[in-house]
Chain A
Amino acid sequence: MADFLLELLCEEIPARMQAGARAELERLFRRALEAAGVVPGDLAVWSTPRRLALIARALPLATEAVREEAKGPPEGAPDAAIEGFCRKQGVARDALELREVKGRKTWFAVIDRPGLPIAAVLAEAIPAIIRDFSWPKSMRWGAASLKPDSLRWVRPLSGIVALLDDEVVPCEVGGIVAGRTTLGHRFHAPGPITIARVGDYPAALRAAHVIVDHEERQSLIREGARAAAAAAGLTLVEDEGLVVENAGLTEWPVPLLGRFDPAFLEVPGEVIQLTARVNQKYFVCERPEGGLADAFVCVANIAARDPAVVVDGNRKVLAARLSDARFFWEQDQKTPLAEHARKLSRITFHEKLGTLADKVERVAKLARWLCEEGIVKADPDLAEQAARLAKADLVTEMVGEFPELQGLMGGYYAAKEGLPAEVAAAIRDHYKPVGQGDEVPTAAVTVAVSLADKLDTLKSFFAIDEKPTGSKDPFALRRAALGIIRLITENGLRMSVAEGELLDFFADRLKVQQREAGVRHDLIDAVFALGGEDDLVRLLARVHALQDFIATEDGANLLAGYKRAANILKKEGFEAEGAEAAVAYTPEPAEQALIDALAVATPRAEAAVAAERFTEAMAALATLRAPIDRFFDEVTVNDPDASKRAARLALLARFRDAVHRVADFSRIEG
């Protein structure tokens, strides 16, 4: 058994690519070894900005010997064919063996492939791994790049360490010869370092100020940043993305806390946090009493002679960034939102749908209408005002700089302007809900604007035939539909949401969305199939009642009875609805019982549905369960007497129709 180390040293690998690179290295390494019949056990794969490293423990010293047989030409075949076969297999003619194949003597070559030393397998695998490595973006470099097919890597590759226990695995790729020499930290340990044996690697690097295990660096940053904040009496605002990114930017991470001018805190906290994170990769902190503190945590890649110098440099950069942010914050406020909104006429929303100003106009009218119709219980004037201003922040400097602050900034500016609180809140939150986990607005004015915005988007794009297809949804219409569904259902809004194709689109989205909530898609189909249902609140109430009902014994049995009735009707080609065949004979008791039960249940179910008392409608159906069961037990539908047969089929059709008052049970699975 032997341990193997592979280190690929290069210039700084982008932090965002390191996790993928580790997975790729592992994948290619396993592939290469498995092709040689070796299944490596646990691998350690690490990354720093300057290196990818892999350690495979306890590899066998050699691959297994393999005996292979190849079937050749039959005995008596022309010499040329036999010679050719020998050449191809690399065996001498007198080493061929004759075997019987389907009664015919045939030449076979028997090739014994001896086990290969693992070093030889690795020496071949390493250049292949490097050549086949897939990076999101790769490049050529140096004198070799005079030729178009020179080696590609994410940044120039400068060294390879390949050790099997304490021996170098000899190989070379793109002029780089594998050895046992690598580099430590760029500044703390600039000279070459030599790795004597695989087991020494992490410690040798640590001695050279490199922590090769990215997870260890991540926890150093996580803990160190928390501790730095705590030491200042503050709480770190946790950000795991920043932890991973900073670990990908450092070999020797040192979190440092700095302060900035508290005057910047007049800028909204979200802006400060975003500026610090996006531009500088800094953490921010909160005060014990809540609210952002005038502090940041940066992660240096050196144990600096004087950390205060590093902190001060970073503080200045952040100050310059925050000055820009404050400049935008102040500049934007010099113009009222209404005036910003005028500039929306310069921005195309979609070439066939006009400018953003056109969209705002439509949304404002729709928001007002939603209120005037009483669908949303909000003041129509406030809803219209909020809708007219909701997109204005898109032309502000701040949102130009940080697009993810759309809505939020408009809300801040509206509040600063002294607009009604409901209007400011509606501007702030009208994009919600964005993701699945995002909260759904409940404030009435916000609901009106958010709903109007999304409905307009959806109806407009459907009107110009820009519908999502497959994985393509460039205008995020599925998300808009989902947002509408959640706004309507969670706020109990009673309205006709759409018709035709768009209603089908909603039905699909609703099924996907409700699956999460444990609602069966077939039950949604069963209600939609009745047609004419465009009120999602009513629809879901009916579906919920149906789901509860189907789960009961009565429900399950009624469904079985329904299916049996439907099958008979289908088989007999009996389509007539509302058939009221006159009964010219004395019905059997079970038959009469069903007739009587239907006479009571049908109007009850109908009335209950009309009154949207769906549980009651289900209860009405439940009264049919016993009579239908008894009917099938005791009555023969297919009576020789044609008039009896016709009357009984008509009775079953009436039963089916009664059930259909509530839902199309034929859509229900099981």
Chain B
Amino acid sequence: MTALPAFAPPARDPARSFQDMILTLHDFWSAKGCLILQPYDMRMGAGTFHTATTLRALGPEAWNAAFVQPCRRPTDGRYGENPNRLQHYYQYQVILKPSPPDIQDLYLQSLAAIGIDPLAHDIRFVEDDWESPTLGAWGLGWEVWCDGMEVTQFTYFQQMGGFDCKPVSGELTYGLERLAMYLQGVDNVYDLVFSSPPASSGEAVGQQGLVTYGDVFLENERQMSKWNFEVAGTEGLFKAFAMAETECRNALAAGVPIAAYEQAVEASHIFNLLQARGVISVQERASYMGRVRDLARASCEAYASMMAPQWQARHPGWSLV
């Protein structure tokens, strides 16, 4: 038997393909000591909902992680016809707890790593505070502009689940499609190169060749926009909302707050779908949002209260409130 050829990782070119850009960010944050996690396997509106962000922002323990999170925003669907708007897109999340003193420099280095030269492009930190009443959370920070385009949301979490963050986490949320469009110089998200064949064609598997973002997602956007706006069975959605609510309370009662939290995330997404279907009136809207908020906050509170004794044991003098 002949020896298998050794695999030498190729040099990445983040401006060449979407996946190279993501892999470069993974390389960068991995080299900085972050866990590289995988997406949460549930539909959610933002990477912040990933338990690696919300629940890990609670408590005193250090936590540094980076991951891609697919985000679902049903009302942003445009049937694949808008060059900038999608009902499904990717966020790249980095959570650094406690926020390191050089967090802005680290972030700028990560931009340089994917090919953004700050003397060629105008990078700016523009005030943008973040608040999620649903999660009982808020923070201060900026949206980061690159030549006037918002490419990242940068937040210092001050509260999560109604509790003061002790310590404060720094959260970076990169808009991956926007950054890639910028790096690749394309005006339409569907024209992004998702993956291009390796330089030495001998390495490639099969005949795939260049794949665009449109090849991967355009049909999904068409069908999912139609489903979100026109097809999704509203009766079933209302039932699903009620079920998630019930199951969240059930899980809370049983002392499994992480499971409860998942149900809150589920309820939140179903509410977004109901919104897209246009079946929630203005008056009802506030009430549904309040119900989701109650679930999410109760889950965060239950999680924090359950963990607090362990946290205190490892960090004498620390207290939840």
Interface residues of A (CB under 8 A from B): 11-12, 14-16, 49, 137, 139-148, 154-156, 158, 186-188, 249, 280, 282, 298, 300-302, 304-306, 309-310, 312-314, 316-320, 323, 327, 346-348
Contact = CB atoms under 8 A, between A and B. Distances in A.
Interface stretch (B19-27, B32-40, B122-130, B199-207): B122-130
Contacts of A141: 98-99, 156, 168, 170
26 contacts: A14-B127, A16-B127, A137-B129, A139-B139, A140-B158, A140-B167, A144-B167, A145-B99, A145-B166, A145-B167, A146-B98, A146-B167, A146-B318, A155-B156, A186-B108, A187-B119, A304-B122, A309-B121, A309-B147, A313-B182, A316-B149, A317-B147, A318-B148, A320-B84, A323-B83, A346-B282
B104 interface: yes
A328 to B, nearest CB: 12
A231 B219 CA distance: 47
A224 to B, nearest CB: 15
B282 A313 contact: no
Contact of A49 (B118, B125, B167, B282): B125
Interface residues of B, number: 45
Nearest to B140: A139
B104 A348 contact: no
Q: Which 3 A-B pairs give the minimum distances between C-beta atoms?
A: A313-B147, A14-B127, A12-B125
A317 B148 contact: yes
Nearest to B102: A158
Contacts of A143: 98, 167
Most buried by B among A187, A318, A319, A346: A187
A139 B146 contact: no
B147 A302 contact: no
Task: Describe B's contact surface by its main secondary structure.
Answer: loop
Given A186-B123, A305-B119, A318-B148, 15 more contacts: A137-B129, A140-B158, A140-B167, A141-B98, A146-B60, A304-B120, A306-B120, A309-B147, A313-B122, A316-B149, A316-B187, A317-B149, A319-B187, A320-B84, A323-B83
A313 B149 contact: yes
A101 to B, nearest CB: 52
A139 B122 contact: no
B238 to A, nearest CB: 19
Most buried by A among B126, B282, B283: B126
Nearest to B166: A146
B98 A145 contact: yes
A144 B318 CA distance: 12
Contacts of A145: 98-99, 165-168
Given A139-B140, A187-B118, A310-B121, A148 B164 contact: yes
B239 interface: no
B100 interface: yes
B310 interface: no
B142 interface: yes
A139 B149 contact: no
B121 A249 contact: no
B142 A142 contact: no
B101 A142 contact: yes
A280 B146 CA distance: 12
Interface of B: 60, 82-84, 98-101, 104, 108, 117-127, 129, 139-142, 146-149, 156, 158, 164-168, 170, 182, 187, 281-283, 315, 318
A140 B122 CA distance: 28
Contact of A314 (B84, B148, B156, B166): B148
A557 to B, nearest CB: 65
B119 A15 contact: no
A327 B120 CA distance: 32
Given A155-B140, A313-B149, A314-B147, A142 B100 contact: yes
Given A148-B166, A347-B282, A348-B283, A142 B99 contact: yes
Contacts of B283: 348
Contact of B104 (A11, A298, A327): A11
Contacts of A304: 119-122
B228 to A, nearest CB: 18
B166 A280 contact: no
A346 B281 contact: yes
Contacts of B156: 139-141, 155-156
B146 A313 contact: yes
Contact of B118 (A302, A317, A318): A302
Contacts of B129: 137
Contact of A300 (B122, B127, B164): B122
A626 B120 CA distance: 88
B95 to A, nearest CB: 14
Contacts of A305: 117, 119-120
B140 A137 contact: yes
A481 B106 CA distance: 56
A295 B170 CA distance: 38
Given A146-B315, A302-B122, A304-B119, A140 B146 contact: no
B286 to A, nearest CB: 11
B122 A301 contact: yes
A30 B170 CA distance: 35
Given A12-B125, A249-B126, A186 B118 contact: yes
Contact of A302 (B119, B127, B141): B119
A301 B124 contact: yes
Contacts of B126: 12, 249
A139 B187 contact: no
Contact of A313 (B99, B121, B139): B121
Contacts of B141: 155
A37 to B, nearest CB: 38
Contacts of A298: 148
Nearest to A250: B124
B15 to A, nearest CB: 14
Nearest to A139: B140
Contacts of A316: 149, 187
B207 to A, nearest CB: 34
A317 B318 CA distance: 46
Contacts of A137: 129, 140
A280 B167 contact: no
Given A187-B119, A313-B182, A280 B148 contact: yes
Contacts of A147: 166
Nearest to B117: A305
Contacts of B118: 186-187, 302
A301 B148 CA distance: 11
A12 B142 contact: yes
Contacts of A15: 127
A139 B158 contact: yes
Contact of A348 (B60, B98, B282): B282
